[in-house]
Every structure is written in structure tokens, then in C-alpha cells.
Structure 1
Amino acid sequence: MNKLKLFIENFLVYGFGGIISKLIPLMMVPIVTRVMPTTDYFGISDLSNTVVQFASALAVMGMYDAMYRMFFEKEDEEFKKDVCSTALVFTVVMSVVVFLILIVNKNQIAHYFFSDTKYAYIVYISAMATLVGATNGIISAPTRMQNKRKIFLVTNTISPILSYSISIPMLLAGYYTIALPFAAVIAGITMEITFGILNHQWFDLRRFNWDLLKKLLVIAIPLLPNFLIYWVFNSCDKVMITNMIGIGDAGIYSVGSKLGHASQLIYTAFAGGWQFFAFSTMKEDNQVESNSLVFEYLGIISFVATSFICAWSYGLFKVLFSEEYLSGYIVAPYLFLAPLLQMLFQVACNQFLVIKKTWPNMLILSAGAAVNVIINLALIPVLGIEGASIATLFGYIVSDMLCVIVLCKMKLMVVRKKFLFSCLVMVTYLLIWRILFSSKLLSATILALILTTVYLVLYKSELALLFTAVKSKVRK
């Protein structure tokens, strides 16, 4: 129960903080789309974020995860400060390098990402956002690694509120292309200054250690391709849509992905508490069984949540968005499930990180990313934005399957037959929903309830144990 308590506490506290930072932007999407005169502008703003995500992956180069892993290597506080300081120096240098590369190649980047060099000025803002965001992650890390929950909650509430208090007036004034990216930069700078003040004792440039950097890079460098591959999964489809069928379609897809990525609230909640839980319990005897059960139970939660998004997607789009965005409803369920499959992949592949072997992640993710791109090329011209969402989902399915197979062979994971049957049930549900009920609220909701009932029956013994444990805890 102590491990369960640790996981749930971090899931709820860090997860809730992460949820706030995602929930506010999600709630603002209907408002923002109604202020913008065409779907093109939302596409441009979202593609700016796509540039930042790609550049940030290059700048951080996996150092955040390596820093997190090494922080728990020893209990010596001086060693921990060396880890933090060395990681920060490296990330600052890399961020400046990437910033300069973006500025020098602004026209080429604008042509590739925005399909027009006239948007080169947006690359300037994206470069600033990269410089701030990459270093911000490192500077804020000690707050999470020390389990300072209240600070995390407060800062994750303030940041999006500050961002939209800047962007909305700019949108109303007609600055449609730069309002959201520029506001994100200002909010990022504010948060970096805040965390710099709070965590300054963990960082000292004089503590930079070349030998320690080498150890960090051994973990970090194999992770870089992983982050770039994640970018392919989450953002490459928008670039391909822009270049294959138009930036307006990318705007509709982006709105669909925003609603679909509401699952990132679940994913963010999980990720917020997962790293601390995973590394603080990695040396326990039954770690493999515990990790496998977390994978399975999160999978069932993901399937149930997705079934109701399938049922309600059309109705939500009908209510929240104007007619020109309605076609985006079809991509939301696929893109809701995709981040949850990413969450499952990270639960599983954490086993590689525990044994300090990160290269299998890269190979497995590469296979999924290749499937994603190939299906994009085949389906976008035929099915439009739905084809892109299907490609993303299939890419993650392939990655999850390969990862589980490899880990089971290595005896680092156990998958029960009950979960395999549950996956088959979910696939059947998705096919029935898409063919018969994609725009029928009542029928699709009944189907989702049937799916939920099946899972309740399958996992009734686990639910009974959980209920008993919670009940006894409440009585104490």
C-alpha cells in the first residue's frame, strides 16, 4: 500500500498541476478559434508550436531525463548539485546553438513548416520560445525532484493564465499570427525567472563537471532520437497536411487534435508523478510485476476514456466550434487514444531506462514512426485529416506491441491474457463505432457503456481489492 500511496499522491498532485497547465489552453480553444477569422491562423499558430517542439528536442538532447535519472543515483546532496549544474550548462549552450540555427535558416524553415517564406518572422518568435523553454525545463526540475508539490501547483496555474491574459488582447487587436506564440514566450520567461529564484541553490556554473557530463550524455544521447521520433508522431502530420492539402486543413486538424489531446490531461497527470515513483522504487524486488500492472491498468483506463470520446466527439464539436471546424470531430478519438498509447509506451520502456539501456527505445520508436509516415503518405491524399490521425494511432500501436514483446523476452515485463483480450475488445469497439455510429450520440454512448461493463466484469477482483484497501484507509 505504501507504493500505491506514493504513486497516487504524485499522480494527483503533480498530475493536477500538469492538468491545469493543459486544461486552460484546452478550454480556450473554442474562444480562440471564434476570434480568428479563418482556420489558417490557428494552423499557423499551432505550426509555430510544432517548430518549438522540434527545436527544443534538439536543444535539450535528452538531458532532462538523464538529469532526473542521475539525481537519484546517490543521496549525496553535493553530487545532486553537480548533476543539476552540469545539465544546465550543457542545455544553455545547446539552446543558444539551436537558437542561432533557427535565425540563420528562418526562410527555409518558414517554407517547410508554414509552406511560405512570408512567415519567416514567426520563426524568430519560435527561436525565442525554444531558448526559453529548453532551459526552463532544467531550472524547474529540482522543484519536482524534491517533491515540492504546492509550488508546482501554483506555477502551473499562473503560467497559462498569464499567457492568455497577453494573447487574447493581441488577438482582439488583430495580431492573429503572433499572439499565441509571443504570449507563450513572455509566460515562459516569467516562469524561468521564478524557478531560477526558487532553485538557485542547485545551480552553480563552477560545479560543471566534465566527467559527470560524459555520464549524463551516455544516458541522454540515445534519448534524443526518441524525442525527435515523438515529434514525428505528434507534429509531423501537421506539416505533411500543410504541404499536401493546405494550411487551412492543418488548422482544422489542429483543433481536432486539441480536443483529442484532452487525453494529455490523463497523460500529464501520469507523467507528473510517474518519474518520481518509477525511479524511487526501481530497486525493489517486485518492480517488474508492479510496472506491468501499472501498464495494464492504465491501458484499461485509456480504453474506457477513449470509448466515450468516440461517442461524444461529434456533439462536442457541434456545440463548441463553428461549422468550418466541424469536420475535425472525426480525428479527435484517434488523437485522444494516441497520447495514451504513448503513456503506455513510456511505462513499458522505463524498464530500459532502469537498467541504463536507452537504445532499444530508439529502435522501437523508429519502427512506429516509420509506419506513421508511410501511412500518412498513403492516407492523407485519400482520407484527408482522418488519414493523418489514423497514421498517428497505428504508429503508436506498432511501437507498443514491439516494446512489450521485447521486454517480455527480456523478462522485464509480464502481460496477462486478460489484457490481450481487453485489447481485442477495444479494437472491435473502434471498428463498430467508425462504421456505424461516428455521428450518433445515443447509440455510440450505449456502445461505450457496454464496453465499460465488459471491463468491469473482467477486472472485478482487482476493483474489489482496491475498494477494500480504500475503505480500510478511510476508516483509519
Structure 2
Amino acid sequence: MNRGNKFINDIFIYAVGNLGSKLITFLLVPLYTYFIAPDDFGYYDIALNISFLGIGILSFQLRDGVFRFLLGNEDDRTRKDIISFTCRFLLRATLVAFIIGLFCLFFFEIRFLPWIVALTVVFMFYEIYIQVIRGLGRNVYFVYIGILTSLLTIVFSCLFIINLDCGVLGIFYANILSRFFSMCIIECKLRILKKYFRYNSSDPQINQEMIRYSLPLLPNALCYWLLGSSNRLFINHYLGLESNGIYAVAMKFVSIFETFSLIIYQAWQETSIKQYGSQDKNRFFSSVLYAQMYIFSAFVILLIFVIKWNYVWLVDENFQDSAQYLFPMGISVIFFSLTSFFDMGYQCSKETARNLPGIILSTGLNLLLNYLLVQQWGIWGIVVSSIFTYLFLFLYRIVDSRRFFQVKIPYAGMIPLGGCIVAGIIYYEVISIYFQIVYVWALMIVLWVVMPGYVKSQLKVMAFSKIYRK
């Protein structure tokens, strides 16, 4: 299979694995908004994002390291050393999490603290377990575990929220149990731990290399957390939990775009690492970025309008105000997706420490803009801050990534940008749904007509080029 077909095939596999879980999340929004009050849902959203922060800190971002070092490694002895080191590290991280939880339990009054700790630990194991599956090349089982987790989540959500009337605690129960049972079921099938985990198996050199690779990604993850999650803290502090609940509902829909971005990122992560040594990498990388600009922009515009047309019945009336934020939040995800493309330069070269200056500057800019704008514009200030932050990071990485690869985008790359600008005007200024439908379909046709002359010529590079190795 050539690199283009492999990349497209990986996109399909990761799409099936990710879309199942996000589709369930999307379908659960009406359930959550109907049975759970906005302030409770806002509190859960904050707790969830704090858990994501805890995962990165406790695991030292080994989720990225274990995938990078397992990918393409066929030696069982090395695989045992990598997985054994990762498991031992996670067990110690779990002990640290429980100690921190006990300390906070005695000195602070935090709602649902034991469940927040449990959520963090289970999510940590789950995230690294699925990266092990990817690193071992068992991508089909990556799809299985995603679908299985999704189905279990909806079953447990209905059980605890509707039948047992557990309220917001039901969301904690559903997410914890679904991931725990998914790991158990897949482990019974693959026997990864039985085959590769040995408590005394250790290679000091591999351990050091994994820490050296993963540790610089920790401040990177912290900064990304601040970029994505500090918004909730600013909203909660200045506007209250109810506003945070409204923002959280909008983010549930925007997470669909983020999932599409994640699908491309995961497929691109695997392809770029393998193709980094090719002689024509600049041409190949440029073709991927160029195609991504077209496809992702079209996907976001189409889906934003589809969601808007159905928002009345998708979301309870207490959360209807969140619809106004969908379009600019979608634009910020486009910039985020393009920014993630350039992450691969740091990962392919294993120079992850070079990633820090850009993300630190962007985080500082985001915090400053959040502080200045949220007090003046409310939630709109947070949304505008995100757009400018990811735009800045995108431009920074275009320049900084030239040491790894150089991409060239023709002027036709401005067409999706123009389509987004016009779409934004119509989204807010045109009341007629019929006119909006006509514009969206007209834009899709224009992009489809233009793509054969520009993007499809680039896709041929991916589909038919031979793999050249140095």
C-alpha cells in the first residue's frame, strides 16, 4: 500500500473509531440538557477539564511517547520494555493521584472529589491503553474500543440519569464504567498486558529516551489545556456557572469539528513519522496541508449550518443562546487543526522541546485576551480570544517549522478563507433558512468544482507517488 492510500485508509479507520464516541456525545446532549440543570452541567464540564489536566501531569504525557516508540518497532523484547515501563509509571501515578485526593478531601470542600479522582485515573489508563493499541498496529481494535466505549456510555447514561435519577453524578458513573469495561473486554481479546507487561522488565536507555521525549510535551500539554480549558474558568469566575453551562453546550457541538481534526491528526501522525525521511517530504507535506484546508473548511461550514437549522429541537430552551457562538468557535477549530499539522515536525524529529516557545507565547496571549475581553464582551470575548490565539500560533509555526519541512500553499488556498467569511455574514445577517441552504449548497458546489483543478491534483501526489527513502 503506497503512502497516499495508507494515509486515506488510516483516516477512514480513525474516523470510525472516533466518530462513534463523538456521535454518542452529540446524541447525549439533549439528554444532559433535559435532565441536568445548567449550573450542574457547567460544574461537570469544569471537573472534566481539570481531569484532563491531571492526566497530562500524572502521566508525564507518556501517551504520546508510548505511541511514538512502539510505532514500527517489531522487536518483542523492546515492546515489552516500553509497555512495562509505561505500566509501572501509571501505577505510581495512580498512587500519587489517590494521595493528592486524600489531601484535598481533608482540607478542601470539593463536590464529587472522589469521583473526579476516579475519572482522572480511569481516563489516564484508557488514553494510554488506546495509544498502545495504535502503536502495536492494531488499528482495527482501536475502532472496536471506540465503538464499544460509546455504546456503554449511552447505556450507563440512560441507566444512571433517567432510571436511577442520579443527576450530574450519573455522567461521572457512565464515563468511568464505560471506559473501565471497554479496557477489560479488549484486554480479554488482545492479551496485551499478559504478553508484554513484565514488572521487572526494564531497559534504562529506553526509559530515559521515553522520558526525554515525553517530558517536554508536559508543559506543551499544560499550555494546550490552558488554551482550551481556561476559558471555562474565566467564564465561571466572571459570568457564573450558568454561562459556563451555555458555553459547554456549544462546545459539545464544536467537539464534532475537533473530532474531525483529531481524526486527521491521528492519521497524519502515523503517516508523517514514517514519511519524514522521504526525499520529497516537502512536496508531500504541502499536498496534505493544502487538501486539509479545503476539506476541513467545507466540512465545518456545512455542519455548522446543519446544526443551526436543527438547534431548536436538539437543545433545551435554557441553552438556546449557545447557538450564536457556534460559527466563530468552528473557525477557531479550523486554525487549531492547521496548527496541529505542524506539530509533526517536532514529533518526527523527536525535538519536542522546540515546541515550547510558540505554545507558551500563545498561551500567554490567550490568558491576556481572556482577561481583557471576558469582562467587556462576556462569552464573546472568550470566543474572539480563541480565534486570535490559534491564528497567531498557526502563523508562528509556519515559520518555525521550516527547520523540519517547508510547505508551499498556492494562492488558491485563499478560496476556503473567502468562503468562510461570506458564510459568517450569512450565518448572522440572513434570517431566511432557504437562502442559507441555497448559499451552503452553492459553496459546496464551488469548492467541488475548484477542487479538481487544485486540491485533486495534490491528492494525486498522495495517491500515486512512490515512497522514496533517503
TM-score by length of 2: 0.89
SS at the partner of 2:200? helix
| Cα pair 1:136 1:188 within 8 Å, conserved | yes
Distance change >3 Å, CA 392–CA 86, structure 1 → 2: same
Alignment of 1:175 with 2:175, yes or no, is no
- The Cα offsets for residues 19-58 of structure 1, whole Å up to 9 and x where unpaired, read as 111111111111221122x211221222221121111111
Aligned to 2:76: 77
The residue type paired with residue 30 of structure 1 is: P
SS at the partner of 1:101? helix
Deviating more after overlay: 243-252 vs 363-372: 363-372
Q: Return the match for 1:328 from 314, 318, 322.
A: 322
Deviating more after overlay: 145-154 vs 356-365: 145-154
Alignment of 1:404 with 2:398, yes or no, is yes
Alignment of 1:120-131 (within 5 A): 120-131=110-121
The residue type paired with residue 45 of structure 1 is: Y
- The Cα offsets for residues 366-411 of structure 1, whole Å up to 9 and x where unpaired, read as 2222222222222222332232222222221111111012223x26
Alignment of 1:278 with 2:272, yes or no, is yes
Q: Return the match for 1:142 from 114, 132, 142.
A: 132
Aligned to 2:67: 68
Alignment of 1:347 with 2:341, yes or no, is yes
The residue type paired with residue 416 of structure 1 is: I
Gaps of 5+ in 1: 110-116
What is the rounded CA distance, in whole Å, between the counterparts of 2:210 and 2:34 in structure 1?
46
Distance change >3 Å, CA 97–CA 422, structure 1 → 2: farther
Distance change >3 Å, CA 463–CA 90, structure 1 → 2: same
The residue type paired with residue 79 of structure 2 is: K
- The Cα offsets for residues 188-241 of structure 1, whole Å up to 9 and x where unpaired, read as 221232344421212222113333211111111111112112211222111211
| Cα pair 2:297 2:420 within 8 Å, conserved | no
Deviating more after overlay: 46-55 vs 411-420: 411-420
| Cα pair 2:60 2:218 within 8 Å, conserved | yes
The residue type paired with residue 22 of structure 1 is: K
Q: Return the match for 2:237 from 243, 255, 262.
A: 243
What is the rounded CA distance, in whole Å, between the counterparts of 1:128 and 1:286 in structure 2?
47
| Cα pair 2:5 2:462 within 8 Å, conserved | no
Distance change >3 Å, CA 366–CA 102, structure 1 → 2: farther
Deviating more after overlay: 72-81 vs 50-59: 72-81
Aligned to 1:152: 142
Distance change >3 Å, CA 449–CA 368, structure 1 → 2: farther
The share of aligned pairs that are identical, in percent, is 17
Aligned to 1:256: 250
Q: Return the match for 1:416 from 409, 414, 430.
A: 409
| Cα pair 2:291 2:458 within 8 Å, conserved | no
Alignment of 1:185 with 2:176, yes or no, is yes
- The Cα offsets for residues 123-154 of structure 1, whole Å up to 9 and x where unpaired, read as 21111111122122233333222332332222
SS at the partner of 1:207? coil
Aligned length: 460
What is the rounded CA distance, in whole Å, between the counterparts of 1:108 and 1:242 in structure 2?
22
Distance change >3 Å, CA 357–CA 82, structure 1 → 2: same
SS at the partner of 1:354? helix
Q: Return the match for 1:459 from 447, 451, 470.
A: 451
SS at the partner of 2:408? coil
The residue type paired with residue 78 of structure 1 is: R
What is the rounded CA distance, in whole Å, between the counterparts of 1:133 and 1:152 in structure 2?
15
The residue type paired with residue 441 of structure 1 is: I
SS at the partner of 1:205? coil
What is the rounded CA distance, in whole Å, between the counterparts of 1:380 and 1:102 in structure 2?
32
| Cα pair 1:167 1:180 within 8 Å, conserved | yes
Q: CA shift at 1:94, angstroms?
A: 2.4
What is the rounded CA distance, in whole Å, between the counterparts of 2:159 and 2:404 in structure 1?
56
The residue type paired with residue 88 of structure 2 is: V
| Cα pair 2:80 2:196 within 8 Å, conserved | yes
Alignment of 1:267-306 (within 5 A): 267-306=261-300
Alignment of 1:155-166 (within 5 A): 155-166=145-156
Aligned to 1:218: 212
Alignment of 1:80-95 (within 5 A): 80-95=79-94
What is the rounded CA distance, in whole Å, between the counterparts of 1:207 and 1:93 in structure 2?
16
Aligned to 2:29: 29
| Cα pair 1:309 1:333 within 8 Å, conserved | no
What is the rounded CA distance, in whole Å, between the counterparts of 1:107 and 1:285 in structure 2?
59
Q: CA shift at 1:12, angstroms?
A: 0.4
Alignment of 1:230 with 2:229, yes or no, is no
| Cα pair 2:145 2:182 within 8 Å, conserved | yes
- The Cα offsets for residues 101-142 of structure 1, whole Å up to 9 and x where unpaired, read as 244225888xxxxxxx4xx24221111111122122233333
What is the rounded CA distance, in whole Å, between the counterparts of 2:426 and 2:79 in structure 1?
51
Aligned to 2:51: 52
Alignment of 1:441 with 2:440, yes or no, is no
| Cα pair 1:96 1:131 within 8 Å, conserved | no
| Cα pair 1:57 1:227 within 8 Å, conserved | yes
The residue type paired with residue 421 of structure 1 is: M
SS at the partner of 1:206? coil
Aligned to 1:112: none
Distance change >3 Å, CA 150–CA 414, structure 1 → 2: closer
Aligned-residue Cα RMSD (Å) equals 2.7
The residue type paired with residue 227 of structure 1 is: A
What is the rounded CA distance, in whole Å, between the counterparts of 2:367 and 2:21 in structure 1?
30
Q: CA shift at 1:427, angstroms?
A: 5.8
Aligned to 2:468: none
The residue type paired with residue 224 of structure 1 is: L
- The Cα offsets for residues 395-433 of structure 1, whole Å up to 9 and x where unpaired, read as 21111111012223x261213232552365256336534
Alignment of 1:359 with 2:349, yes or no, is no
